[in-house]
């Protein structure tokens, strides 16, 4: 484990830190394609909903229990045939980037997906986010698609890159 932070399952008390990171991304980046910040109750409900589905929300916390970043995954699509695939999200506090927090969160999240028997993990990333794209490639994700100009924020069109990580080498879903 990294000596400057720990990775653990999120608890309700982390909703404030998660909301602060989320809202910073909403207001200052194109990582989230919405314009309106959310309140702590919104993130608490999101956290509870993800956990109720049996999926993890992981946080990286420093010695003061301050949330440095978070990562989660959920169903890729709500259909039986898609049940072995998850889509994840990861956000790092703006002043904690470049310290290995993202890599550590992703490694823990990937391990949790494998432990749940998932076969593929999908990342949908703003194609103009080179740091996130590079992190995912470093972790073994490969770009599988690009949707030009499907989003907009800050007065410009945004492209959406899809990356995929195969979590196992099963030849069939039963195997």
Where helices occur in 33-171 by DSSP H, the ranges are: 40-52, 101-115, 130-138
pTM for the model stands at 0.95
Digit-coded pLDDT (tens) for 76-126? 999 999 999 999 999 999 999 999 999 999 999 999 999 999 999 999 999
Average pLDDT, integer, range 138-158: 98
Q: Write down the pLDDT at residue 101.
A: 97
2, pLDDT greater than 90? no
Question: Residue 70: enclosing H or E segment and its boundaries?
Answer: strand 67-75
Q: At what angle do helices 101-115 and 130-138 cross, to 10 degrees?
A: 50
**What are the domain boundaries of the chain?**
6-166
For the chain, percent of residues with pLDDT exceeding 70: 98
Question: In the CATH hierarchy, which top-level class contains the domain 6-166?
Answer: alpha beta
Tokens 């990775």 -> residue: 7
Q: Write down the pLDDT at residue 137.
A: 98
DSSP3 helix / strand / coil % (the chain, rounded to 5): 35, 30, 35
Phi and psi at residue 160, to the nearest 5°: -115, 120
For the chain, percent of residues with pLDDT exceeding 90: 96
In the three-class reduction of DSSP (H, G, I as helix; E, B as strand; rest coil), residue 54 is classed as: coil
pLDDT range class, residue 1, cuts 50, 70, 90: low
What mean pLDDT value characterizes the chain? 96
In the three-class reduction of DSSP (H, G, I as helix; E, B as strand; rest coil), residue 36 is classed as: coil
Task: Name which of 127, 125, 113, 162 is nearest 142 in CA terms.
Answer: 162
């Amino acid at each position: 484990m990294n000596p400057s932070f720990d990775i653990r399952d999120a608890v309700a008390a982390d909703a404030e830190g998660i909301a602060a990171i989320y809202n910073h991304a909403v207001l200052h980046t194109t990582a989230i394609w919405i314009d309106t910040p959310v309140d702590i109750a919104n993130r608490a409900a999101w956290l509870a909903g993800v956990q109720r589905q049996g999926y993890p929300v992981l946080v990286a916390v420093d010695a003061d229990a301050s949330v440095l970043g978070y990562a989660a995954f959920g169903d890729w699509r709500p259909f039986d045939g898609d049940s072995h695939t998850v889509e994840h999200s990861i956000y790092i506090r703006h002043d904690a980037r470049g310290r290995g927090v993202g890599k550590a969160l992703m490694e823990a999240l990937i391990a949790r997906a494998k432990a749940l028997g998932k076969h593929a993990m999908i990342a949908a990333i703003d194609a103009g986010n080179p740091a996130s794209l590079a992190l995912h490639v470093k972790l073994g994700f490969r770009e599988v698609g690009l949707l030009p100009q499907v989003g907009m924020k800050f007065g410009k069109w945004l492209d959406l890159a899809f990356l995929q990580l195969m979590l196992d080498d099963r030849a069939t879903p039963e195997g």
